[in-house]
């Protein structure tokens, strides 16, 4: 009897141990494969996410987009930034997120990931003050005093600049340098982009006070002189050219708009691709 009792005790202990090990087995952590984070796609694009273990998908700020239980995302028809969240069905505290940027300019932005572009902006909204072209004050155009030169409009101009910079950083695009006119409104636009790259002033980008008749051509020559490498460049300048060759995308920019150029080779005029309006930037900056 003692032997039987001992055997039963050992068997029970073994069974309990096995059950305990099975109960205490760790729940697998969520993983997502197939699509990387921060992808940039065109409206209406379909993406398939794969997750393990099984999870429940949610979509926020979708602007019309949907995601089903299998992880199939169908982008909406409007530009916007989607936040996707999946919750582990075995552990609701285990979640992962993915960001999707939906824009009609997806092809341009994806091209910029490997560099070789110039984004030429007209400065942000600047309706405060006026330019005193006949001022006796030396270098009046560089002043941030509205009695001498037009300045960024508060708060709209600053919001435009900050929002555009936010989108550029959201896309994780590589930049080399920001080239600006000497006017305060251009320099401040670049500063509020806050891209963490050098901001350099160029007289050829500066409105009226230097070689105005050749400003457009000199601007394009400056862009053409940039090295074609793994980074992009930004220009912040003006419209209102007195002499404009055709086509002339820079001349038709409104405040905060951007003309996109593809660099070809140093000394060769860059190719105009498209214009991204301030409205386009603000749609992607909704937070």
pLDDT digit of tens for each residue in the chain (287 aa)? 445 444 444 444 444 455 444 556 788 999 998 787 779 999 999 999 999 998 999 998 767 899 998 999 999 999 999 999 999 999 999 999 999 999 999 999 999 999 999 999 999 999 999 999 999 999 999 999 999 999 999 999 999 999 999 999 999 999 999 999 999 999 999 999 999 999 999 999 999 999 999 999 999 999 999 999 999 999 999 999 988 887 789 999 999 999 999 999 989 999 999 999 999 999 999 76
pLDDT value of position 21: 47
Give the CA angle between residues 145, 149, 152 to the nearest 5°.
75
pLDDT value of position 259: 98
Is the peptide bond prior to 196 cis by the omega test (within 30 degrees of 0)? no
Find where tokens 């400003």 sit: 215
pTM of the full structure = 0.88
Residue 136 tokens, joined: 């006796």
Look at domain 31-102 and name its CATH class: mainly beta
CA distance 216 to 212: 8
Give the CA angle between residues 285, 115, 199 to the nearest 5°.
65
Look at domain 106-284 and name its CATH class: alpha beta
pLDDT value of position 23: 52
CA distance 155 to 166: 16
Residue 274 tokens, joined: 């498209």
pLDDT value of position 24: 62
Query: In degrees to the nearest 10, what's the CA dihedral of 99, 105, 107, 113?
Result: -60
User: Which candidate, 100, 26, 28, 27, places its Cα nearest to that of 57?
Assistant: 100
User: Which candidate, 231, 191, 229, 185, places its Cα nearest to that of 205?
Assistant: 185
CA distance 122 to 200: 16
Domain ranges of the chain: 31-102, 106-284
- In order of 86, 125, 137, 205, 207, the CA distances from 141 in angstroms are 53, 17, 9, 13, 9
Q: In 3-state terms, what secondary structure has residue 26? A: coil
The residue count of the chain comes to 287
Find where tokens 């005093």 sit: 145
């Amino acid at each position: 009897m003692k032997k039987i009792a001992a055997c039963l005790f050992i068997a029970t202990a073994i069974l309990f141990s096995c059950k305990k090990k099975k109960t205490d087995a760790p729940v697998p952590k969520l993983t997502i494969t197939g699509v990387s984070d921060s992808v940039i796609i065109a409206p209406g694009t379909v993406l398939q996410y794969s997750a393990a273990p099984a999870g429940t998908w949610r979509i926020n700020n979708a602007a019309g987009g949907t995601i089903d239980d299998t992880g199939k995302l169908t982008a909406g028809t409007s530009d916007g930034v989607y936040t996707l969240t999946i919750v582990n069905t075995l552990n609701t505290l285990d979640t992962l997120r993915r960001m999707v940027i939906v824009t009609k300019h997806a092809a341009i932005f994806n091209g910029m990931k490997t560099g070789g572009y110039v984004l030429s902006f007209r400065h942000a909204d600047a309706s405060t003050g006026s330019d005193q072209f006949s001022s006796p004050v030396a270098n009046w155009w560089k002043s941030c005093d509205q009695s001498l030169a037009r300045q960024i409009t508060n708060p709209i101009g600053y919001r435009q600049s900050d929002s555009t910079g936010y989108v550029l950083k959201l896309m994780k695009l590589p930049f080399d340098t920001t080239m600006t006119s000497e006017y305060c409104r251009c320099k401040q636009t670049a500063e509020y982009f806050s891209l963490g790259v050098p901001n350099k002033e160029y007289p050829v980008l500066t409105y009226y006070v230097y070689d105005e008749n050749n400003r457009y051509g000199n601007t394009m020559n400056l862009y053409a002189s940039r090295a074609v490498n793994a980074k992009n460049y930004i220009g912040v300048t003006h419209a209102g050219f007195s002499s404009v060759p055709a086509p002339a995308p820079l001349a038709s920019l409104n405040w905060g708009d951007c003309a996109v150029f593809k660099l070809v080779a140093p000394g060769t005029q860059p190719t105009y691709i498209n214009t991204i309006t301030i409205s386009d930037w603000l749609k992607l900056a909704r937070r």
